[in-house]
Structure 1
């Protein structure tokens, strides 16, 4: 797909990787209703396409996403349709209520604030440019986090640090975000997208069923398990299914000398 005016979301395929770009640079990639619907469509297509192994979400034109389009909200407050039951419809930002079965990486440049911060939290990993800024900037306008920010952020970086961001609405630069565990990699300006694609390709080269199982178990343990024992049981039940499919062939490769000495 070509980046062109009028296309609020641009998707492109790189082998088994899909990139999903928010394309409203004139609004710092703020998400309006149309963009939210297109983001939902793009992520749904990714989730359903078995030939795709990972997705990279990014913003075109220097910013990741400045949140929900407050101009649209101000001019037509009744236009925003909110599905109250989170199991029955999308969030205001689009795909924010989704759980993915495959890795998603966010390539963050410029501002990832308010709903844009929430979109970045959808990803498993965040590759962040040196000048990027995170923050709950919607704090100053009385706009709540209703796209998972109060759910995902405390789980990701801990309640104390999450409350620091949520209560103050202050800007957080790349280095502090890295120290918090919000940023997973810091890269030079202009390189987040390329680095994220390469990281997605690296992850996609591993035996997939085993990686998906470990990833799924990590999410289950953090968000769904009611006890340590339940989480441990889920991990074992998930892992044992791939032992014969991928672990035995992997062990045979190891015995022949592949992957020793820490080589990937």
Structure 2
């Protein structure tokens, strides 16, 4: 049975980690499949938005499968990411649809997405702390960008778990929904995004992402460059 499911409907691609018996933890074959399906999405001109989720309601993703770490050895140092594609930039919008556990590398996967929609039952945390493992799939860089450095350091150093309400208050998630509604809500938002004319949307997204953290003047120059504006 494939551990990753992929489908496209109404210009929205859905990528599902299908290992509910392991809280959708990622082993080597799953990481390889995630990378392959992301590359399919990136190359598919008919797919405008990607929704990433986990099978079932118990977990979005619990990170690396600690009982199958040897199967991930071949991905050590992979430029795409240890657990799939989280060290790559997506050329198109992405949404994480989260239910249950979203921890360790699973949190890094959620942070990779542009938007995060979670259920009230969701739990978040850098639980790699408890096992002496590093946060190496982009988490140390994306977490501070999402919630600010002091809050990020709190989660990174304490390894504490937080619920959906605190995650929303921090800005870690964009929206909290009732249990079982995360995927449909994510697809609804994705369809809205996919329904807009894409050229300007993609350019605005790129300018916002690449300009984040730049001095204002440099950001304005980037904005003009992205939109091919001649302001001279």
TM-score range, shorter chain: over 0.9
| Residues 193-222 of structure 1, C-alpha deviations (whole Å, 9 max, x = no match) | 000001000011112111111100011112
Whether 1:115 and 2:70 are equivalent positions in the alignment is: no
| Residues 130-182 of structure 1, C-alpha deviations (whole Å, 9 max, x = no match) | 10001001110001001000011001110001011101111111111001111
Whether 1:191 and 2:186 are equivalent positions in the alignment is: no
Q: Distance in 1 between matches of 2:75 and 2:21?
A: 25
Q: 1:157 aligns with which of 140, 143, 147?
A: 147
TM-score by length of structure 1 reads 0.83
| Residues 58-112 of structure 1, C-alpha deviations (whole Å, 9 max, x = no match) | 0002210001011112xx38x512453x6xx321111011101110000000000
Structure-2 residue corresponding to 1:80: 73
Counterpart secondary structure, 1:155: helix
Q: Distance in 2 between matches of 1:121 and 1:163?
A: 15
Q: Distance in 2 between matches of 1:125 and 1:90?
A: 20
Instruction: Give the alignment's Cα RMSD to 1 decimal.
Output: 1.4
Q: 1:135 aligns with which of 125, 131, 152?
A: 125
Where do 1:234-249 residues align within 5 Å? 234-240=222-228
Where do 1:57-76 residues align within 5 Å? 57-62=52-57, 63-73=59-69, 76=70
- Are 1:82 and 1:92, in contact at CA under 8 Å, matched by a contact in 2? yes
Structure-2 residue corresponding to 1:45: 40
Structure-2 residue corresponding to 1:173: 163
Task: Count the aligned residue pairs.
Answer: 228
Asked which structure has the greater RCO (Cα within 8 Å, sep 6+), the reply is 2
Q: Distance in 1 between matches of 2:42 and 2:65?
A: 26
Q: Distance in 2 between matches of 1:66 and 1:228?
A: 38
Q: 1:176 to 1:104 in 2, by over 3 A?
A: same
Contiguous gaps of at least 5 residues in structure 1: 1-5, 242-264
Greater Rg by CA: 1
Q: 2:219 aligns with which of 231, 241, 251?
A: 231
TM-score by length of structure 2 reads 0.94
